[in-house]
Amino acid sequence: MSEIVRPSGTMALRRSVAILFIALTTACTRTILDGPLIDAYSKAECIPVEADLGHQESTRRWDYTIKTAQGGVRLFGAQMPGGRINASYAANREDVVAADAGDYIYPEDVRVDHSLGRVYIKASGVPVFGESETWLFGYDVAKKRQLQRARVDPKVLPQDCPADSSKR
């Protein structure tokens, strides 16, 4: 009769960690091809973007204030490491992260729908252990929170808003 050999505590822990790592890194997020978020982003108005040519690669930057009943909301951010789009509320000096896609995925385009008080952010990049990703975010200015977030196929999106490289 053969005896079953069970892994030692350290070996079992390593195996569990390896299985968890594989599960997390291979878990797929569904990429959407259409839907209300893509439609809203496509119809929204471009927020002025500035191309900062002072870096090795061109960096897109946003700094734009939306007028609201409660005062102005400044949207700002950049397409760079650690890049995200923030909303700064003048009335109470509160800063809120409107969109942060994570490491190696940077803001690429920012649009606004003034009638709904919504901001739409497109972010793209290549995470450390993965392939190219494009994400869309929907942010509600009045509620001060992100309403939507989805991985999208970039081929179904309109071109990015043009950058003004004359401002530096």
Residues 6+ positions from 142 with CB-CB distance below 8 Å = 68, 70, 117
- Which residues have a Cβ under 8 Å from the Cβ of 136 and sit 6 or more positions away? 37, 38, 41, 120, 121, 122, 148, 149, 150, 152, 157
Q: What residue segments make up the domains of the chain, in order of their start?
A: 31-164
Euclidean distance between CA atoms 18 and 63, whole angstroms? 43
Instruction: Write the pLDDT tens digit of every residue in 37-90.
Output: 999 999 999 999 998 766 556 789 999 999 988 889 999 999 988 789 999 999
Task: Give the Cα separation of 15 and 9 in Å (integer).
Answer: 10
Who wins on pLDDT, 12 or 156?
A: 156
Lowest mean pLDDT among 12-16, 35-39, 147-151: 12-16
Quick one: fold of 31-164?
A: Lipocalin (2.40.128)
For the CA atoms of 111, 150, 68, 161, what is the dihedral angle to 10 degrees? 0
Higher-confidence residue: 5 or 136? 136
In this predicted structure, what is the pLDDT of residue 127?
A: 85
Q: Are 77 and 59 in contact (CB under 8 A)?
A: no
